[in-house]
């Protein structure tokens, strides 16, 4: 079964909708972004989420000590590094099974060696100059499929929505799909109907 992560959550009501619809992971952005949340907000947003649903903290080139404090204080299960963090930095967070975000261009070729050996999973997002994620643009699906050769879970992100997620799953067969803008009314504000439809399409998949 392909799992689902609903990312960029900023409201408790959207977390409730995602959980009820069958989401496997909830993502919250702690980096500068239209979807950024504070530690206080994050704790409130996920306070009633069941323990079996993964809590993922998203960071972009931020101070490792501060990141570690946030992860512990909020009670996050996974860390998603979306910037240019080194392998050394990733190893600091090995206990959280790092999700390394990659943003290949349309012309990128899958490397011969694992691009992030210190990471527990590889996430493929769209490449948009100057933006770390949440752009609504499609990612390089062929590249994502190629990453499976390294034996790690591959998470497909970038421009997914209820209309194209079935095709994405058919072409890539990722371990997980990650959606943010594709189920939103505006940045950080989710549409309950779109969340349910997206997850249903994945489950039918």
Map out the domains of the chain as residue ranges: 3-204
Please say if 61 is a catalytic residue.
no
CATH number (3.40.50.300, 3.40.50.1970, 3.30.379.10, 3.20.20.70) of 3-204 reads 3.20.20.70
pLDDT given for residue 138 in this prediction: 83
pLDDT greater than 60 at residue 161:
yes
| Catalytic residue (choose from 14, 24, 125, 178) | 125
pLDDT greater than 90 at residue 131:
no
CB 62 within 8 A of CB 39: no
Please say if 63 is a catalytic residue.
no
pLDDT greater than 60 at residue 130:
no
CB 1 within 8 A of CB 173: no
Q: Over the chain, what is the mean pLDDT?
A: 94
pLDDT greater than 80 at residue 202:
yes
| Catalytic residue (choose from 7, 14, 24, 178) | 7
CB 155 within 8 A of CB 99: yes
Q: What is the pLDDT of residues 49-80, one digit of tens each?
A: 999 999 999 999 999 999 999 999 999 999 99
């Amino acid at each position: 079964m392909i799992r689902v992560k609903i990312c960029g959550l900023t409201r408790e009501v959207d977390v409730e909708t995602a959980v009820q619809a069958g989401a496997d992971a909830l993502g919250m952005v702690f980096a500068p972004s239209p979807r950024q949340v504070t530690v206080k907000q994050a704790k409130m947003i996920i306070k009633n989420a069941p323990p079996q649903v993964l809590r993922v903290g998203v960071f972009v080139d931020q101070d490792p000590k501060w990141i570690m404090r946030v992860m512990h204080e909020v009670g996050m299960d996974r860390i998603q590094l979306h910037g240019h963090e080194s392998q050394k930095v990733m190893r600091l967070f090995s206990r959280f099974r790092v999700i390394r975000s990659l943003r290949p261009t349309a012309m990128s070729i899958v490397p011969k060696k694992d691009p992030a050996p210190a990471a527990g999973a590889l996430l493929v997002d769209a490449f948009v100059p100057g933006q770390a994620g949440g752009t609504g643009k499609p990612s390089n699906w062929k590249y994502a499929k190629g990453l499976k050769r390294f034996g790690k879970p591959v998470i497909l992100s970038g421009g997914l929505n209820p209309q194209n997620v079935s095709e994405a799953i058919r072409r890539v067969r990722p371990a997980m799909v990650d959606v943010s803008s594709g189920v939103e009314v505006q940045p950080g504000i989710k549409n309950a109907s779109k969340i349910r439809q997206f997850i249903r399409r994945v489950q039918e998949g």
